[in-house]
Amino acid sequence: MNTKLKCLLLDDELPGLTYLKMLCEQIPEVEIVKTFNNPEKLLSDIANLDFDLLISDIEMPGIDGLHLAEMLQNKLVIFCTAYKEYAADAFNIDAVDYITKPVKLERLQKAILKTIERLDKSESGKKFIQLNTDKGKTLLYFNQIQYIKTALSDSRDKTVLLTDGSFINLKNIKFDTLLNELPEADFCRVNKKEIIAVKAIKFFNHNEIVLHHQEENNKNTTLILSETYRPEFLKKVKL
């Protein structure tokens, strides 16, 4: 992983949550996205949160950590609990780790490293991501993407041009979220409204990029290379 591990923290007891947050702040690889002391509040906010890992207690009022973890698709979970008897259930739902309280910094660091190793392993063999579209869910294969741009109809949506010339409209997703999911070496942001696949480039200079894709007028698609994203783009195409 080249970016920090984005984490949510959940514990219904505020002293425990405060202590867990303090420990996580001492681990350089961790970025705390948000803390919760209510599992139902976490569930209500989940659609608007970009995170990789949930660090959660198990016994909580309303909904326990095990059931909550089962609801979080494709997200990793570390359990921190005072009870040893849930360990088998935790690993049955493929938890990364199970830490008994009181949590020690060294033990939490080991769990974080296990999480990063698992993410790196899954990303190396990852060929697609599952996303929401205006027609339902889709499996978007990385090798089929030419570029992604802000949708004309709604700036919260993104339009993807595929290698076969067709388009897919992704619903309510941020560019940062997409970039975190796409293979870093193969995709690059070129301006505020567009991401491109490096393999889709035909020509480029310091101000614009011409793609292999031809539009209906038989002219190649041309995109602006903005000053903000130019250094990262130039670094990537020289690799």
| Separation between Cα atoms, residue 81 and residue 209, nearest integer Å | 52
> What is the token pair recorded at 187?
């995709």
For residue 102, whether the previous peptide bond is cis, meaning omega lies within 30 degrees of 0, is: yes
- Quickly state the pLDDT bin for 4 (edges 50, 70, 90): confident
Non-local (6+) Cβ contacts of 6 within 8 A are: 31, 33, 50, 51, 52, 53
What is the residue type of 231? Answer: P
- In this prediction, residue 123 carries a pLDDT of 63
- Quickly state the pLDDT bin for 37 (edges 50, 70, 90): very high
Q: pTM, whole model, 2 decimals? A: 0.55
Contact 128, 142 (CB under 8 A): yes
* 183 burial via Cβ count (<10 Å: 0-12, 13-18, 19+): middle
| % of the chain at pLDDT higher than 90 | 73
- 133-192: pLDDT as tens digits: 999 999 999 989 999 999 999 999 999 999 988 999 999 999 999 998 898 888 999 999
- In this prediction, residue 16 carries a pLDDT of 96
What is the residue type of 29? Answer: E
Q: Which of 15-24, 89-98, 207-216 has the highest mean pLDDT?
A: 15-24
State yes or no: pLDDT of 2 exceeds 60: no
- 87-126: pLDDT as tens digits: 988 988 889 999 999 999 999 999 999 999 888 776 666 7
> What is the token pair recorded at 147?
């570029």
Distances (CA, A) of 116 to 4, 26, 47, 119, 130: 9, 16, 23, 5, 21
| Separation between Cα atoms, residue 76 and residue 7, nearest integer Å | 10
